[in-house]
Amino acid sequence: MSKGIKSVGDFDLATAKLITSAGLTIDLKKGSHIVAINLFEDIQRNAISGEIMLEDSAGYVSEAPIIGQEYLQLKIQTSSMKDDTDIINFTENVFVVNSIQNRGEVGNKVSMYLLTFTSSELVKNQRTRVNGSLTGTYSDIVEQMMNKVNCQKKIYIEPTKGIKRIVVPNLSPFKVIEMALQNSTSTLNEKFSPSYMFYETTKAYHYRSLASMYAQPIVQTYTSYTPGSQVLKGGIVDVTKELGNVLDYEIVENSNSLYNFSTGVYGSKLIVHNIYSKTFNEYQYNYFDNFNEEKHITGYHEGKKQYPIFSDVTLEKDGGRSSDFPSRTYLSSMSEGGGDIQNTTEDGTEPFTAPDPQNSLQERASTMNQLDKGLILNILTHGNTVISAGDIVKMDIPLVAAYKTGKKPPNDRFFNGVFLIKRINHEFSFTDKKHKSYLTLVKDSLSEKLEGPDDLYEPKPEKKPIIIKDKEILYPQL
């Protein structure tokens, strides 16, 4: 991150040009008044998107015309940041405008409307279909699909295990990548790391596991603060520290045990049918038993210690914990064993590996559901163009408690420490010339164990239920 930021939240708009379907180039910095620009990144979406609100006094919307089939060149950055990686630059790889919305007159012969746009790769994906057989590792196939959508951006691809041959029946390239996501396991991590994500940021495309994302260094530390606390001697404001101020926050999720039971977060059973040998194999996934065999976010930070975000206390008198009940069952099939003419090459070798859902399906399902219902926090901060979805940040949220009930830590035990940026909305307001960022943060482990008694049975009376079957009670009006 470069130094010398003028004022917290400041940004520079270097380029904002619209290339219309008629071939006309409109400089939006001159011919129109930009009200706001929003950019959206999400590790669970395969392209970035955005919107730009315009006040048009030149009548471009009709004369150009602007019809939702334009290209948008955009270059924007936090003030005084000069590194290429710190700049949102879409002057060569342009955005594609896909709609014009909320058009209306605001007075003095000025119209206002909203243009929505997205990455060109997503548009190319929508009009491309893939048919036939694909060969290679899943990471190789992803690279082939990115060529299909003519991606010329930086792409991070984590290599995957096993050479595959898959048949694609008239699917879009991104649908093929979604197929690969379900079964990809990493060659760079001995723990398989099956939780692959495919997403785009303003800096690059990514096809990588969550473990790979967790292993990144911390890019920003955020903390709530007391106004004036960032003022240095002589009344000078430490702008770099102010970028880490949390202006507002909201705790979104804090675990839902009913959801975790029904979706297999705690435990699940997988039945795999081998079509070739006509056999069945069962595999059990147990969250607590498997936890230390997996890679979680605090395992790469905070002393390399990782503990579950759930308590492993005993719930039943037979010793059962919440993860000992495989309430979700998965079914999968595979063909493995003996010679396979369909998968034999001309030189008589069989390099292709069969699917191995037992190494990916259950752990992936548990992890993905934790991304939706784990420890999730929304924060509002001063914006900067350095951070992106998929980055690692550190939180410092104080414990909210009016009374002391013994020794308490200064920070909230769940919502402090390292977090993954799941989603980010960059909001550039031209009314006050300020950039704010709305971040959704998530974590899947703690740096300290949740202690509890050896058993925590559900309190129930030691008696049988009362069953009522009498007609005069069930049908009192008869």
The CATH number that applies at residue 187 is: 3.55.50
More confident residue, 347 or 397: 397
Average pLDDT, the chain: 86
Answer whether residue 414 is part of any domain: no
- The whole domain housing 160 covers 128-215
Looking at residue 1, what is its pLDDT? 44
Task: Tell which of 61, 94, 118 closes a domain.
Answer: 118
Does the structure show a pLDDT above 90 at 89?
A: yes
Answer whether residue 242 is part of any domain: no
Residues of the chain above pLDDT 90, percent: 54
* 53 and 103 together in one domain: yes
* 40 and 114 together in one domain: yes
Answer whether residue 58 is part of any domain: yes
Confidence band of 225 (pLDDT split at 50, 70, 90): low
Please name which of 113, 110, 140, 94 lies closest in space to residue 52, comparing C-alpha atoms: 113
Residues of the chain above pLDDT 70, percent: 89
Task: Tell which of 196, 215, 234 closes a domain.
Answer: 215
* 95 and 179 together in one domain: no
More confident residue, 104 or 455: 104
As for how many domains the chain has, the answer is 3
* 133 and 175 together in one domain: yes
* 154 and 180 together in one domain: yes
Provide mean pLDDT across the span 242-249: 87
Amino acid occupying residue 212: S
Answer whether residue 475 is part of any domain: no
Provide mean pLDDT across the span 320-327: 89
Looking at residue 366, what is its pLDDT? 93
Amino acid occupying residue 269: K
Looking at residue 234, what is its pLDDT? 56
Looking at residue 114, what is its pLDDT? 93
Amino acid occupying residue 364: R
* 43 and 107 together in one domain: yes
Q: 288-309, pLDDT tens digit by residue?
A: 999 999 989 999 998 889 999 9
* 32 and 110 together in one domain: yes
Answer whether residue 167 is part of any domain: yes
* 57 and 95 together in one domain: yes
Looking at residue 81, what is its pLDDT? 67
Answer whether residue 27 is part of any domain: yes
Answer whether residue 292 is part of any domain: yes
Does the structure show a pLDDT above 50 at 216?
A: yes
Task: Tell which of 80, 100, 118 closes a domain.
Answer: 118
Mean pLDDT is lowest, of 41-45, 87-91, 228-232, for 228-232
Answer whether residue 25 is part of any domain: yes
Does the structure show a pLDDT above 80 at 65?
A: yes
Does the structure show a pLDDT above 70 at 410?
A: no
Provide mean pLDDT across the span 125-148: 95
* 138 and 110 together in one domain: no
* 64 and 140 together in one domain: no
Q: 254-291, pLDDT tens digit by residue?
A: 778 889 999 999 999 999 998 878 899 999 999 999 99
